[in-house]
Amino acid sequence: MKVALLIPTFNEIIGLRQIMPMINREWVDEIVFVDGNSTDGSIEYIRENNYTLFLEKVPGVRRAMIEAIRSVTSDVLITFSPDGNCLPELIPKLVDKMREGYDMVIVSRYADGAKSYDDNIITGFGNWLFTNTINFLHGGSYTDVMGIYRAYKKELVSSLDLDKDITYTTPEKLFRTRLFWEPILSTRAAKRKLKITEIAGDEPKRIGGEAKLQTIKWGAAYMYQVLRDKVWWK
Given a cut of 80, whether residue 214 has pLDDT beyond it is: no
Residue 104 lies inside a defined structural domain of this protein: yes
Given a cut of 90, whether residue 201 has pLDDT beyond it is: yes
Q: How many domains does the chain have?
A: 1
Query: Starting at the edge strand that comes first in sequence, how are the strands of the sheet with 104-108 ordered?
Result: 52-55, 30-35, 3-9, 76-79, 150-153, 104-108, 196-200
Residue 105 lies inside a defined structural domain of this protein: yes
Given a cut of 60, whether residue 210 has pLDDT beyond it is: no
Residue 96 lies inside a defined structural domain of this protein: yes
Residue 207 near residue 117, CB atoms below 8 Å: no
| pLDDT digits 0-9 by tens, 112-154 | 999 999 999 999 999 999 999 999 999 999 999 999 999 999 9
pLDDT range class, residue 59, cuts 50, 70, 90: confident
Instruction: Give percent of the chain above pLDDT 70.
Output: 98
> What do you get for the CA distance between the two ends of the chain, in Å?
28
Residue 75 lies inside a defined structural domain of this protein: yes
User: What's the predicted TM-score (pTM) here?
Assistant: 0.95
Question: Which backbone phi and psi does 103 adopt, to 5 degrees?
Answer: -80, -30
Residue 22 lies inside a defined structural domain of this protein: yes
Mean pLDDT of all residues belonging to the chain:
95
Residue 117 near residue 153, CB atoms below 8 Å: no
Q: Which residues of 12-43 are buried (b: 16+ CB within 10 A; e: fewer)?
A: bbbbbeebbeebeeebbbbbbbbbbebebebb
pLDDT range class, residue 234, cuts 50, 70, 90: confident
209-214 LR contacts (CB < 8 Å, sep 24+): 209/9, 209/10, 209/11, 209/12, 209/14, 209/15, 209/82, 209/83, 210/10, 210/11, 212/10, 213/123, 214/177
Given a cut of 80, whether residue 108 has pLDDT beyond it is: yes
| pLDDT digits 0-9 by tens, 146-198 | 999 999 999 999 999 999 999 999 999 999 999 999 999 999 999 999 999 99
Who has greater pLDDT, 63 or 154? Answer: 154
Check residue 212 and give its pLDDT: 57
Residue 213 lies inside a defined structural domain of this protein: yes
Strands (E), 62-195: 76-79, 104-108, 150-153
pLDDT range class, residue 213, cuts 50, 70, 90: low
Which CATH number fits the domain that encloses residue 123? 3.90.550.10
Residue 234 lies inside a defined structural domain of this protein: no
Q: Give the other-Cβ count within 10 Å of 107's Cβ.
A: 26
Residue 233 lies inside a defined structural domain of this protein: no
Range of the domain at 151: 3-228
